[in-house]
Chains A and B, each alone.
Chain A
Amino acid sequence: MTEFRRIAVFGGVYNNAPALEAMLADARGRGVEAVFCLGDMGGFGPHPDRVFPLLREAGVLAIQGNYDQSLALGKTDCGCGYTDPRDNHFARISYEYTFAKTSMENKRWLGGLPAHRRLRLGTHRVLMSHGSPRVINEFLWESATPTGLLKRFLREGEADVLLCTHTGIKWHRALPDGTHAVNVGVIGRPENDGSTNVWYTVLTAGPDLSVEFIPVHYDYETLAHQMEREGLPPEFAETVRTGWWTTCLENLPAKERSRAKF
């Protein structure tokens, strides 16, 4: 298993090439040995194919998200796991746009991504997943993920550190036995706190694991203009400009929803 001392990890690009570019530049300045992406390259934003050259040029080591899996398999929906009619309405628009605008070559690349990655960060055994280790589109929200479940994932996955994304909001829980679970957040969409920046995570080996959440500021106004020019819903551009989610809210648990504007 490859061993590292310091890595950057991000999730959920959601077609946001400007944020990806800014994040990769930021990570280069922090002395990381490798950059990992936990999946979901598409959805939400404009011009899906602009993301892939950036990922390849930077040598990003990716795993597959549910969006990537759906695109690669030619499925009719994103498989995000929404149950609410309003969420599904916007998810459909976003998926159909991304499906139509992603090249076959990039779909094939997404289809070849692994479901998980394992590595060593110093002495820590790290397991990377998109949703959860058991289900690609399982939501692991901070207020809805029991510590007992995390212990089980870590035990069954023979890992000391579990990394995931999928929900769009970062969190870190240090468990009493010295193990860790981290939702690394997403760089494609602000995290519903009224700030326009997005987030990624830097992990550093040591006697204990160091987990730093790094804010990324990028040219969100350009992105919002591109979304409008591509005819994507004005609700999406509003999220980019305000930092508040306007869609895909119904899966938020009570605590996360109570901090939201909508």
Chain B
Amino acid sequence: MRLPLINGIAAPADAPRAPFLRLSALWIQITGTWCNLECVHCINASGPADPWLKPVRPEVVRRAIREAEDLGVKEIYFTGGEPFLHAEMLALLGDALEVAPTTVLTNGTLIDEAMADALAALARRASYSLEIRVSLDDTSPETNDRVRGAGSFSKAVAALVRLNERGLLPIVTATEIASAAHAGEGMYERFRRFLIAQGIEKPRVKIMPVFALGRLGREGDPRLTEADLAGFDRGLLQCSESRVVGDGGVYACPILAGLPGARLTEGTLKESFADAPLYHPACVTCVQTGMTCKNG
């Protein structure tokens, strides 16, 4: 397996640890790092060529969903890579929606009219909410495409409009990479106004910080120590209530899925219910920003 820079490290034995409290969110790293885009800030260095993390086999996904239901999971997320590259994505999404509200994190570029129709049909049939989160990094096509690749803006916006027309109310996920000058509330309002101008009357926006990992990771990035965490409630970290099923096992964190240091077991979800090492530079960002990859 070829890992991106810095990510091959194992968790040191003296790394601080986060307690496991409960399984609230099951994440499925459905396509590994296989993506049709190659964004400069991608947290797991996904791309079209030679993905370092393989997709998850459908039977593994189905087993995880069944186990998560028995364990009282609250919500399910599909991520990658680009989930809609997976041949069985729609069928697996249907399985997940029978168990819990489910979210797909997508770049939107593969949501054509037929896919939007299929998603709307799934959402109508389900008792639980289907959330589609579309990534977009700026409201200007030029700035966005410098980060996410040529043509990605127009395809993502077209997907947002298609989903909205079918009543699916997509959530736009934006990182602060292209909008540092407008970060915080200014950035949020700018995205809201942009979406309203596209005819999306109920704009939903989630802002994410940029992480020092994937293509942005560097040797020597700082790590957490016990002293850094004095007085901090580690139960607030998402690794205390999330688990990620990816190729090779169950991991503590959606953005560290696939990394040997974040793997808790090669077995079942239940076997992953143990303290997670806060060993990676990304853990610094979570502690400092209080961020969660979840919808809210």
Which B residues touch A255, using CB under 8 A? Answer: 128-129
Are A253 and B72 in contact, with the CB atoms below 8 A?
A: no
Are A254 and B130 in contact, with the CB atoms below 8 A?
A: yes
Are A146 and B100 in contact, with the CB atoms below 8 A?
A: yes
Are B128 and A143 in contact, with the CB atoms below 8 A?
A: yes
Q: How far is the CB of A181 from chain B (nearest CB, A)?
A: 13
Q: Is B204 an interface residue (CB 8 A)?
A: yes
Are A83 and B74 in contact, with the CB atoms below 8 A?
A: no
Which B residues touch A258, using CB under 8 A? Answer: 167, 169, 202
Contact A254:B73 (CB < 8 A) given known A85-B185, A144-B128, A148-B99: no
Q: Is A125 an interface residue (CB 8 A)?
A: no
Are A253 and B131 in contact, with the CB atoms below 8 A?
A: yes
Closest to B207 in A: A85
Q: How far is the CB of B200 from chain A (nearest CB, A)?
A: 12
Are B296 and A146 in contact, with the CB atoms below 8 A?
A: no
Which A residues touch B69, using CB under 8 A? Answer: 146, 148
Interface contacts (Cβ under 8 Å), in number, total 77
Contact A144:B129 (CB < 8 A) given known A251-B296, A253-B101, A254-B168: yes
Which A residues touch B70, using CB under 8 A? Answer: 148
Which B residues touch A89, using CB under 8 A? Answer: 185
How does the 8 Å CB contact mask read for B40-71 relative to A, with 1 for contact and 0 for none?
00000000000000000000000000001111
Closest to B294 in A: A83
Are B101 and A144 in contact, with the CB atoms below 8 A?
A: yes
Are B169 and A151 in contact, with the CB atoms below 8 A?
A: no
Contact A149:B72 (CB < 8 A) given known A253-B101, A254-B168: yes
Are B169 and A146 in contact, with the CB atoms below 8 A?
A: no
Are A85 and B204 in contact, with the CB atoms below 8 A?
A: no
Contact A250:B296 (CB < 8 A) given known A146-B99, A148-B69, A148-B72: yes
Closest to A155 in B: B72
A138 to B68, CA, bound (A): 19
How does the 8 Å CB contact mask read for A65-89 relative to B, with 1 for contact and 0 for none?
0000000000000000111111001
Q: How far is the CB of A54 from chain B (nearest CB, A)?
A: 33
Which A residues touch B192, using CB under 8 A? Answer: 86
Q: How large is the interface on B (under 10, 10 to 19, 20 to 34, 35 or more residues)?
A: 20 to 34
How does the 8 Å CB contact mask read for A237-262 relative to B, with 1 for contact and 0 for none?
00000000000011101111110101
Which B residues touch A56, using CB under 8 A? Answer: none
A97 to B187, CA, bound (A): 28
A84 to B204, CA, bound (A): 9
Q: Give the dominant DSSP class at B's interface.
A: loop
Contact A253:B74 (CB < 8 A) given known A85-B184, A134-B22, A260-B202: no
Which A residues touch B123, using CB under 8 A? Answer: 254
Which B residues touch A81, using CB under 8 A? Answer: 296
B window 9-36: CB within 8 A of A: 22
A window 45-71: CB within 8 A of B: none
A140 to B254, CA, bound (A): 23
Which A residues touch B127, using CB under 8 A? Answer: 143
Are B296 and A254 in contact, with the CB atoms below 8 A?
A: no
Which B residues touch A262, using CB under 8 A? Answer: 201-202
B window 156-197: CB within 8 A of A: 167-169, 184-185, 188, 192
Q: How far is the CB of B32 from chain A (nearest CB, A)?
A: 26
Which A residues touch B184, using CB under 8 A? Answer: 85
A134 to B185, CA, bound (A): 32
Are A149 and B202 in contact, with the CB atoms below 8 A?
A: no
Q: How far is the CB of A85 from chain B (nearest CB, A)?
A: 5
Are A149 and B74 in contact, with the CB atoms below 8 A?
A: yes
Are B131 and A151 in contact, with the CB atoms below 8 A?
A: no
Which B residues touch A210, using CB under 8 A? Answer: none
Q: How far is the CB of A254 from chain B (nearest CB, A)?
A: 4
Which B residues touch A82, using CB under 8 A? Answer: 296
Closest to A88 in B: B185
Q: Is B247 an interface residue (CB 8 A)?
A: no
A86 to B190, CA, bound (A): 12
Are A143 and B101 in contact, with the CB atoms below 8 A?
A: yes
Footprint of A on B, CB under 8 Å? Answer: 22, 68-75, 99-101, 123, 127-131, 167-169, 184-185, 188, 192, 201-202, 204-206, 292, 296
Footprint of B on A, CB under 8 Å? Answer: 81-86, 89, 134, 139, 141, 143-146, 148-149, 151-153, 249-251, 253-258, 260, 262
- Given A86-B188, A255-B129, A257-B169: 13 more A-B contacts, CB < 8 Å: A84-B205, A89-B185, A141-B129, A143-B101, A146-B72, A146-B100, A146-B101, A148-B69, A148-B100, A253-B101, A253-B129, A254-B131, A257-B202
Can you list 19 A-B pairs with a CB-CB distance of less than 8 A?
Answer: A84-B188, A85-B184, A85-B185, A85-B188, A86-B192, A144-B75, A146-B128, A148-B73, A148-B99, A148-B100, A149-B72, A149-B73, A251-B296, A253-B101, A253-B131, A254-B123, A254-B168, A255-B129, A262-B202
By Cβ-Cβ distance, the 4 closest A-B pairs, closest first, are: A152-B72, A253-B129, A146-B100, A254-B129
